[in-house]
């Protein structure tokens, strides 16, 4: 049972899993967006339910995790793909403690919160697939858009994922990381105009942005039995941006 977190790339992942006949629980602050996704996924004849939640609130997430397990019976797959924040482009000198904390909470602590909410259920079932989203910014000390706070949080995702893979392999739990660059989603289109998107794309070897649907295929692969010998791995999906 996949558990995509946050709409955008998460929406593409949720639909991809529904295409593969998986039940889907979606967590997001955007209640209207969740309702729209529920209606969309209803066409696939799978169980799909949206839950409004602040994934940076530990207690709220733990409570909701138990509700999801009650509603769906168990959690087989967890996808932590929260990311962004209004201050991702601020440099170290521009950040204050409050803005730093919010970036870390959304881009790193949220993954801890959501993983804690389901990990005991996975251990009890001796099975689990976890895919966490980092960013090329976390590998390069910042990217074309994300700077100090965002880069630090997304770098933390890489270490967190490897630790989960190491600590939980004995329980049949796998954990891998995806580090994407620009993928054109409604959120990106709402924040960048066409000229800005083209300028970003020019920095990639392939001179194009990523396709969320193809990214979702990679997530589905890592969550499948075809990836039964892959854990603690990092996949960069960035059009060659981090080649050096």
**pTM, whole model, 2 decimals?**
0.94
Residue-wise pLDDT for 84-140, tens only, equals 888 998 999 999 999 999 999 999 999 999 999 999 999 999 999 999 999 999 999
| C-alpha span between 104 and 153 (Å, rounded) | 5
Which stretch of 10-19, 68-77, 144-153 has the lowest confidence by average pLDDT? 144-153
How high is the pLDDT of residue 193? 76
The contacts of residue 54 (CB under 8 Å, 6+ apart) are 29, 60, 61
Does residue 133 contact residue 9 with C-beta atoms inside 8 Å?
yes
Catalytic residues, by residue number, are: 150
Q: Each residue of 14-40: pLDDT tens digit?
A: 999 999 999 999 999 999 999 999 999
Is the predicted pLDDT of residue 5 greater than 70, yes or no?
no
Which residues contact residue 164 at a Cβ distance below 8 angstroms, ignoring those fewer than 6 apart?
115, 119, 130, 173, 175
- Domains along the chain with CATH numbers: 9-237 (3.40.50.720)
Banded model confidence at residue 62, pLDDT cuts 50, 70, 90: very high
Question: Strands 234-237 and 77-80: what pairing?
Answer: unpaired
pLDDT at 4: 47
CA 234 to centroid of chain Cα atoms: 13
Q: What is the pLDDT of residues 159-200, one digit of tens each?
A: 999 999 999 999 999 999 999 988 877 767 766 678 877 878
Grade residue 205 by pLDDT with cuts at 50, 70 and 90: confident
């Amino acid at each position: 049972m996949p558990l995509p977190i946050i709409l955008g790339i998460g929406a593409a992942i949720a639909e991809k899993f529904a295409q593969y006949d998986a039940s889907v629980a979606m967590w997001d602050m955007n209640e209207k967006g969740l309702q729209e996704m529920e209606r969309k996924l209803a066409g696939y004849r799978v169980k799909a339910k949206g839950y409004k939640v602040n994934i940076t609130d530990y207690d709220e997430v733990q409570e909701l995790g138990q509700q999801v397990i009650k509603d769906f019976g168990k959690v087989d797959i967890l996808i932590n793909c929260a990311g962004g924040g209004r201050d991702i482009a601020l440099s170290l000198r521009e950040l204050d403690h409050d803005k730093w904390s919010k970036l870390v909470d959304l881009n790193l602590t949220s993954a801890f919160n959501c993983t804690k909410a389901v990990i005991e259920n996975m251990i009890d079932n001796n099975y689990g697939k976890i895919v966490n989203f980092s960013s090329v910014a976390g590998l390069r000390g910042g990217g074309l858009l994300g700077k100090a706070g965002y880069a630090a949080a997304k770098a933390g995702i890489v270490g967190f994922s490897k630790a989960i893979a190491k600590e939980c392999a004995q329980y049949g739990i796998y954990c891998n990381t995806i580090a994407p660059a620009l993928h054109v989603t409604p959120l990106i289109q709402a924040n960048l105009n066409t000229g800005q998107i083209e300028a970003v794309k020019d920095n990639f070897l392939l001179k194009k942005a990523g396709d969320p649907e193809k990214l979702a295929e990679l997530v589905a692969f890592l969550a499948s039995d075809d990836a039964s010998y892959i854990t603690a791995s990092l996949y960069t999906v960035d059009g060659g941006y981090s080649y050096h």
